[in-house]
């Protein structure tokens, strides 16, 4: 087993040879049967005609083996988590005492761990988890945003140490956080995930932020409202990240301001949704998917964890559809990516860019 690694400064986290470590532990765990992974060979890349978003769809065997350890079932009208329920969750909580064979970093600032996903969607899929139990429905803390971003920078922006796949192409990581009962999560202990994009995969977020300068959002100024990809069928908000922070404190502050602004947008959408007569208890708790890469962050409010029997978490909104079998794959293709994402999220409106939430909002 590998020796324990402890990280106590951002400099250490930035300079660590993280990808080498992930590869080493992944290969070892796979060889010893400590994780369930089989490279999907039957994936398809499809350009959606309506939205021009690129989608990948593939069958991931591990999906049907994933345990479920949630506080409530999606669609439930009650969102009242008793202490009993929380205690119950701890009995099968895989992140409280993670398997040493899957542990990448044993301690980050004494509060977090990096562990491999036991049922990964793709090779080298890993998680940042809190050491102590915290609810998945709690907000991301500024320090967590800073850790996520530093990990992404370590993996994506390291000039001397780019991640190159077997075809000689450069590969990038993105991170995601599913939060709230309708966000599509399966575990209730706080965790943020990191996954590699498929080879040569085009993401629409890059088109959206191209040529845009960093700005702090402000509702009343049109040019300072969050960015969006207007062909998408689902409500979402994208912000460009600051790339010239003067120090760690400055970086942390700007990440926190941007994230809180996106959360405010989600709160307003749920408020409006309830005012429109959809206010059963199910929706008093906000749900959203949060995605981040080195140069942007994005939020997608969620009203439902699934459309019929098609579950979604953050991945669909990144263009990545992982399904458990051929039957579900056929169904996704028949229903269509845009329709599924629109039903799981909130439909994008024609005048979405002009919607302002300051009058009666948060």
Residues 244-263 touching ligand AMP, rule: CB under 6 A, are none
Shortest spacing between CB 81 and ligand AMP, in angstroms: 16
Interface with ligand AMP by CB under 6 A: which range of 75-83, 151-159, 179-187, 224-232?
A: 179-187
Interface with ligand AMP by CB under 6 A: which range of 2-10, 184-192, 232-240, 273-281?
A: 184-192
- Separation between Cα atoms, residue 227 and residue 28, nearest integer Å: 42
Read off φ and ψ for residue 69, nearest 5 degrees: -145, 70
Out of 4, 9, 67, 88, which residue is the one contacting ligand AMP (CB under 6 A)? 67
- Strand partners for 171: none
Shortest spacing between CB 232 and ligand AMP, in angstroms: 21
- Separation between Cα atoms, residue 314 and residue 291, nearest integer Å: 7
Which among 260, 308, 231, 266 has a CA at the least distance from the CA of 74? 308
Q: Does the footprint of ligand AMP cover residue 94 (CB under 6 A)? A: yes
Residues 95-124 touching ligand AMP, rule: CB under 6 A, are 98, 102, 115, 117-119
Q: Which is nearer to ligand AMP, 117 or 283 (CB)?
A: 117
Asked whether the beta carbons of 220 and 160 are under 8 A apart, the reply is no
Q: Which is nearer to ligand AMP, 36 or 231 (CB)?
A: 36
Interface with ligand AMP by CB under 6 A: which range of 76-84, 143-151, 180-188, 298-306?
A: 180-188
Which among 234, 261, 223 has a CA at the least distance from the CA of 145? 261
Contacts of residue 73, defined as CB under 8 A and 6 or more positions apart, other chains included, come to none
- Separation between Cα atoms, residue 119 and residue 102, nearest integer Å: 11
Q: Does the footprint of ligand AMP cover residue 287 (CB under 6 A)? A: no
- Separation between Cα atoms, residue 191 and residue 112, nearest integer Å: 10
- Separation between Cα atoms, residue 98 and residue 120, nearest integer Å: 15
Contacts of residue 12, defined as CB under 8 A and 6 or more positions apart, other chains included, come to none
Q: Count residues binding ligand AMP (CB under 6 A).
A: 15
Out of 66, 141, 264, 324, which residue is the one contacting ligand AMP (CB under 6 A)? 66
Q: Does the footprint of ligand AMP cover residue 270 (CB under 6 A)? A: no
Q: Contact residues for ligand AMP (CB under 6 A)?
A: 66-67, 94, 98, 102, 115, 117-119, 178, 185-187, 191, 313
């Amino acid at each position: 087993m590998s020796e324990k690694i402890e990280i106590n400064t951002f400099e250490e986290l930035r300079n660590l040879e993280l990808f080498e470590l992930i590869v080493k532990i992944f290969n070892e765990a796979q060889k010893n049967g400590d994780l369930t992974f089989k490279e999907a060979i039957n994936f398809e890349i499809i350009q959606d005609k309506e939205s021009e978003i690129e989608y990948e769809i593939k069958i991931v065997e591990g999906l049907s083996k994933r345990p479920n350890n949630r506080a409530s079932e999606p669609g439930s009208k009650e969102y009242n988590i008793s202490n009993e329920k929380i205690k119950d969750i701890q009995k099968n909580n895989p992140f409280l005492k993670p398997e040493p064979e899957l542990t990448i970093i044993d301690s980050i600032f004494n509060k977090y761990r990096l562990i491999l996903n036991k049922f990964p969607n793709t090779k080298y899929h890993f998680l940042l988890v809190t050491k102590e139990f915290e609810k998945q429905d709690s907000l991301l803390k500024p320090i967590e945003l800073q850790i996520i971003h530093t990990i992404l920078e370590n993996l994506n922006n390291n000039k001397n140490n780019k991640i190159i796949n077997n075809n000689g192409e450069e590969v990038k990581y993105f991170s995601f956080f599913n939060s709230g009962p309708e966000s599509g999560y399966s575990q209730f202990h706080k965790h943020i995930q990191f996954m590699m994009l498929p080879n040569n995969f085009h993401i629409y977020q890059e088109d959206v932020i191209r040529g845009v300068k960093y700005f702090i959002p402000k509702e009343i100024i049109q040019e300072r409202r969050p960015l969006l990809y207007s062909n998408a069928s689902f409500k979402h908000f994208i912000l460009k990240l600051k790339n010239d922070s003067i120090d760690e404190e400055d970086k942390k502050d700007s990440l926190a301001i941007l994230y809180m602004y996106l959360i405010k947008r989600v709160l307003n959408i749920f408020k409006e949704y309830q005012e429109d007569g959809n206010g059963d208890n199910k929706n008093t708790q906000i749900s959203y998917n949060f995605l981040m890469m080195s140069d942007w962050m994005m939020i997608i409010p969620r009203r439902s964890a699934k459309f019929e029997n098609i579950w979604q978490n953050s991945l669909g909104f990144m263009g990545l559809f992982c399904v458990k079998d051929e039957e579900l794959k056929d169904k996704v293709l028949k229903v269509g990516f845009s329709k599924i994402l629109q039903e799981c999220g909130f439909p994008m409106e024609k005048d979405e860019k002009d919607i302002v939430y300051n009058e009666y909002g948060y």
